[in-house]
Amino acid sequence: MSKQIENTQHPNSNYHIPVLFNETIDTLNINPNGIYVDCTYGGGGHSKGILKNLSSKGKLFAFDQDVDAQENLQSDDRLIFVPHNFRYLQKFLRLHNVQQVDGVLADLGVSSHQFDVGERGFSTRFDGPLDMRMNTNENKTAAKVIQSFTEQQLHKIFEQFGEVTNAKTLAKHIVQNRTKQPLQTIEQFKMLISAVVKGNPNKYLAQVFQALRIEVNEEIDALKEMLLQLNNLVKPGGRAAIITFHSLEDRVVKNFFRNGSFQNELSDNPFAIGEKKKTWKLINHKPIVANEDELKNNKRSRSAKLRVAEKI
């Protein structure tokens, strides 16, 4: 039965409008008395949807590594906020005596709030510090990455995390010019790379910034570490719903749900076909994407893909 709920009462829609809201709540197939985890609380929109479907016996653990997300905390006895990186999911749940849960949601990447506050340094639209940290207690900022990474390291992140067409040229240009001028702000960085921008400048800058952000926050490593923990954490019959915003993340999630790991068994050993016991049953074979209404009303939903799987 559908458990769709109104998509109009998000706790803080100025902070962030949740994407694929009904689709996520619906496919999580929430057990009213269950224990759930929202790995990415943000503005609390998805969390509110989960809480609405829980009885007074249910519980929701909500993680977010950005202190700003705490502005949006809803007063609800069933909600336990964990102000940490979801790569430490099991560790923090164990501190709360939780060994297994009924479902997990992760709505990856950054919130609209993080993009909209120029001082956070995530957006190409404002000048601000070259920062991009979701957790401002961490040391690695975008400025440090740009100033200290080798040409090869920069090439790799621009190519893999940003799919920047001239990643090699860009990396070389940065390394050759980064000591010639101050490099602490977005505008200074944009000026530095202006000579090698290729194609549509907005698209190009968005790709470069995405690559830096993923590196600064170690997003792919954190995602893989969190997913691997789900194999033991989610109860049989429980579900995991993951929303991604770019192809690299989506591939990681797709492969994980297929194999329960990140080793490609087939290419390692062709005889392994059929031998390995599956860990996850796919609820949707193709990722769920936003419908026309949502696409019209929320630009961010354009690249969102939801994959859901049930623990076997």
**Residues interacting with ligand SAM, by CB under 6 A?**
16, 18, 40, 42-46, 63-66, 69, 85-87, 107, 109-111, 134, 222
CA distance 202 to 51: 38
CB of 188 to ligand SAM, least distance (A): 25
CB of 251 to ligand SAM, least distance (A): 18
CB of 109 to ligand SAM, least distance (A): 5
DSSP string spanning 237-255? EEEEEEEESSHHHHHHHHH
Neighbours of 278 (CB within 10 A): 12
Structural contact between residues 107 and 64, judged by C-beta atoms closer than 8 angstroms: no
CB of 42 to ligand SAM, least distance (A): 3
Half-sphere exposure in the Cβ direction for 74 (13 Å, CA): 23
CB of 218 to ligand SAM, least distance (A): 8
Give the single-character DSSP code of 300.
G
What tokens does 161 get? 């995390």
Measured from the CB atom, the residue of 10 and 254 that comes closer to ligand SAM is 10
Span between the terminal Cα atoms of the chain, in Å = 21
CA distance 258 to 94: 27
Measured from the CB atom, the residue of 29 and 85 that comes closer to ligand SAM is 85
Measured from the CB atom, the residue of 92 and 280 that comes closer to ligand SAM is 92
Q: For the chain, how many helices (H) and strands (E)?
A: 13, 7
Measured from the CB atom, the residue of 43 and 162 that comes closer to ligand SAM is 43
Alpha helices in the chain (DSSP H): 21-28, 45-52, 89-95, 112-116, 142-148, 151-162, 167-177, 186-193, 201-216, 219-233, 247-259, 265-268, 292-297
The DSSP element (H or E) to which 61 belongs, if any, is: strand 59-63
Measured from the CB atom, the residue of 20 and 170 that comes closer to ligand SAM is 20
CB of 37 to ligand SAM, least distance (A): 11
CB of 91 to ligand SAM, least distance (A): 13
Measured from each CB, the residue nearest to ligand SAM is 42
Measured from the CB atom, the residue of 66 and 171 that comes closer to ligand SAM is 66
CB of 45 to ligand SAM, least distance (A): 3
Measured from the CB atom, the residue of 40 and 141 that comes closer to ligand SAM is 40
Measured from the CB atom, the residue of 94 and 276 that comes closer to ligand SAM is 94
Q: Which residue from 23, 19, 7 is spatially nearest to 303, judged by alpha carbons?
A: 19
Measured from the CB atom, the residue of 16 and 239 that comes closer to ligand SAM is 16
CB of 253 to ligand SAM, least distance (A): 14
**Maximum distance among all alpha carbons in the chain?**
63
Q: Which residue from 263, 256, 224, 255 is spatially nearest to 85, judged by alpha carbons?
A: 224
CA distance 112 to 73: 17
